[in-house]
Amino acid sequence: MADLSVEICGLRFSSPLMPAAGPPTRDGAACLAAVAGGAAAIVSKTISQQPAEVPRPCMSDVKIGMLNTELWSELTKEQWLDREYAIAKSAGVPLIVGLGYTAALIAELAPMVRPFADALELSCHYIGNDLTPITDTVKAAKRAVDVPVFVKMSPHPNIQEIALAVEAAGADALVMINSFGPCMGIDVETGLPLMGSQSGYGWLSGRAIKSLAVRCIFDAANAVKIPIFGVGGVSTGKDVAEMFMAGASAVQLCTEAILKGPAVYGKIAAELSAFLDSHGYQSVNELKGLTRRKMQQRQFSTEATAPSVTKLRCISCGNCVKSCPYQAIQLVDTKAVIDQTLCFGCGLCLSRCPVGAIGWGG
């Protein structure tokens, strides 16, 4: 059985799976439930000076992901300090305490939570052209405590520039990405926005943003030397493997835990273990940065190459036939056949086949 354990900034995790700060760790009891469900660490819901006033409704399943107007913790910092952190700490796994949002608030809050925190996670929103507010929060946290400081980042076109600035400010690890937005959904029966915010806007999380998260992780991992916690759209063991291949050292999940419950952590860990075993990996750490190494060896080409079909695997579902934009695939004697003279080599059929019967080469 492959080794799922990882070590980041001196903290040892039995697997790379943990909650992202949000409703799955909204209080101490929820934190314990996450660990009972298989989470290897706790990332507590972000606190600030005052409890959040969240517009309702604040969450909606939009099928490709989740639209939300989630903010920081609705509980007071006093309740967390007096009760919730102690409950979470009793789980016996690393406790990463979420804090926000300004340097002044971080300087005030960080010493208060230090007795419970194995690390801090700073939430940074609304990145503009001026990176000073973000780097100042990192410096404030590093001055205030002696535990690792992780910085959660929103998706951004200049993710490398921001990651390098945060690293230079003293961050010990990056956490990426936060929800993407603003976005909007409308209930067509009522004509009202799905979210209860004044603008009607929300932020998109879950499976819809996984490819964006993977890109941000890949770009940042190619620029910085500090570890990265991958977040955004993790719902299977293969998603974890993908984020590791992009350069992540661990992963967090929130939306899938909301939709499926806390047992999802153990489920995904089991799927990851099975993937590693089936592909001959001894440790999850062997995947880290694999894509970058593979790309350095690959020859880039714009020439069309037709994939091939392993007929013994083909189940005659017809997915590839229906979705081929070039009408290059037909079912012949109930098996998919690709006409190489028509095939453009777009590769769509590989991802449409549910049983992996289509591949490059062979």
| Active-site amino acid positions | 124
Is 239:186 a contact under the CB 8 Å cutoff? no
Copy the structure tokens of residue 221. Answer: 């991992």
Give the C-alpha separation, 42 to 261, whole Å: 15
**What are the distances in angstroms from CA 175 to CA 219, 243, 270?**
13, 12, 23
d(CA 103, CA 142): 11
Q: Of 356, 315, 320, 322, which Cα lies nearest the Cα of 338? A: 320
Closest C-alpha among 348, 67, 323, 347 to residue 208: 67
Residue type, 236: T
Residue 225 in contact with residue 204, Cβ under 8 Å? no
Closest by alpha carbon to 120, among 193, 31, 43? 43
DSSP-derived letter for residue 344 is -
